[in-house]
Amino acid sequence: MFAGLNACQILDQLNEGQGFRPGRNISKRNECTATKMEYGARGLALDPVQGLQEFVAANPGATETTVNGRKALQARVSAGGCSTAIEIGPHARVLADVVMAMPGDDDRACSESQALAERVEPLLPKTPS
């Protein structure tokens, strides 16, 4: 599903020139986080096992959205954090996560997460018809 794609390489490419530290793989999965002082963090996870159904189960308040025409969901995931899940297939998704550093920037997290998802989407495998 994500053969040859590396979350940190993609995240670093998208963050280039914006003052973010290089992405760090934060688990054994294809998941990466990059931080920037006074901004917070951006994360990217390429999940070949879980789809949008699992995202809703973990985030019951998730709202439906689209990312460049693809089915997606968005949810606040922590104080100052928001995650946009892009459907890749019935059992695959990409998460674009943003956690803002400053209290009060909570509302900005979801718009930043959506923007990150829109930049990531063209680099992803196309969904089967």
Phi, psi of 31 (to 5 degrees): -135, 135
> Residue 2 domain-assigned?
no
Phi, psi of 75 (to 5 degrees): -150, 145
Give the Cα separation of 88 and 111 in Å (integer). 21
The pLDDT tens digits of the residues spanning 53-107 come to 999 999 999 999 999 999 999 999 877 899 999 999 889 999 999 999 987 777 8
Bigger pLDDT: 75 vs 2: 75
Q: Does residue 32 surpass a pLDDT of 90?
A: yes
Bigger pLDDT: 3 vs 11: 11
The model's pTM is 0.93
Q: For a pLDDT cut of 90, what percent of the chain falls above it?
A: 79
> Residue 128 domain-assigned?
no
> Residue 97 domain-assigned?
yes
Give the pLDDT score at 3: 79
> Residue 83 domain-assigned?
yes
Domain range for 97 is 7-123
> Residue 63 domain-assigned?
yes
At residue 127, the 3 state secondary structure works out as coil
Give the pLDDT score at 127: 60
> Residue 129 domain-assigned?
no
List the CATH number of the domain containing 18: 3.40.1000.10
Number of domains in the chain: 1
Contact status, residue 54 vs residue 66, Cβ threshold 8 Å: no
Mean pLDDT on 18-39:
92
Q: Does residue 16 surpass a pLDDT of 60?
A: yes
